[in-house]
Chains A and B, each alone.
Chain A
Amino acid sequence: MAESPARTAFAEEALTHLDTLYRGALRLTRDPDQAQDLVQEAYLRALRYQHSYQPGTNMKAWLFAIMRNLFWDRFKGSRKEDVSLDDVGEFVLYEKLRDEGAKPEADVLDKLAASEVVAAVEKLPPLHREVVLLVDVEGFSYKDAAQTLGVPIGTVMSRLHRARQQLQRSLYDYAVESGIVRASGTHQVPQQ
């Protein structure tokens, strides 16, 4: 059946955001097959609810919101299953590395394997992972991220901060395990 020109134009525009959606789905599901299923379902739902999209608004954010809602509905079953980050206190990788005499960027960050950085992101609980995906990977503003996730901007900021703390901790642990830096005492750094 031939599709209407309006629907085709809408689908064409929506498909320009496929890379963003696929990368997001891959990070959320951590499985290429599930990511493809999720993205396909998100696009079909987007077309079904095309009338609810307001032209001129952020289509990428709108599509991402559809996809992440599907993710929570389909792959997690219930939001209650999400695991929050333990309150591990402030962990400042930069200060930790400086205390150990390393040059944080040159000696450590530049030596991390890309796969380990991705693994550290994927290890974050989904509620925190999706904020990192939106703000750090896709460049969303806090406002757009808040709208996409259906939470206040303050929640975006606090989740992002905790996610970055956890990310630094994971990368530090990897750096120690792989011998990039030498382990030392406690991982905790007092809050400033």
Chain B
Amino acid sequence: MNCNDCIEHLDSYVDRELNNTEMLELKLHLETCPPCADQYDFQVHLKRLVKVCCDKDEVPPAFREKLRQILL
């Protein structure tokens, strides 16, 4: 695997969507290619940041209760 192949599949690798063989091939490339490894780390960091920031909103308790009243 070369760097172009690695970058092309980086989204799927970050999302753990490749098959076992592909995951292993990409992992081996990352272990021997610091520039690609840095980019991988960045993508993972960014994905985590998006999750953490968008996960903060909580359901207003009054709305939760209202729904329970309506549905149950």
Q: Which residues of A does B touch, CB under 8 Å? A: 3, 8, 11-12, 14-15, 18-19, 22-23, 26-27, 32, 36, 39-40, 43-44, 47, 92-95, 98, 104-105, 109, 112, 114-115, 117-118, 121, 132-133, 135-137, 139, 141-142, 157, 160-161, 164, 167-168, 192
Measured CB to CB, the closest approach of chain A to B63, in angstroms, equals: 5
A142 to B38, CA, bound (A): 24
B17 at the interface (CB under 8 A from A): yes
Number of interface residues of B (CB under 8 A): 35
Q: Mark B14-56, 1 if CB is under 8 A from A, else 0.
A: 0101000000000000000000001101110111011111111
Task: Select which of B4, B38, B58 is within 8 A of A19 by beta carbon.
Answer: B58
- Least Cβ–Cβ distance between B4 and chain A, in angstroms: 6
Query: CB < 8 Å: which of A40, A43, A167, A192 contacts B3?
Result: A192
Interface of A is mostly: helix
Kindly provide the distance from the CB of B50 to the nearest chain A CB, expressed in whole angstroms.
5
Contacts of A36 in B (CB 8 A): 60, 63
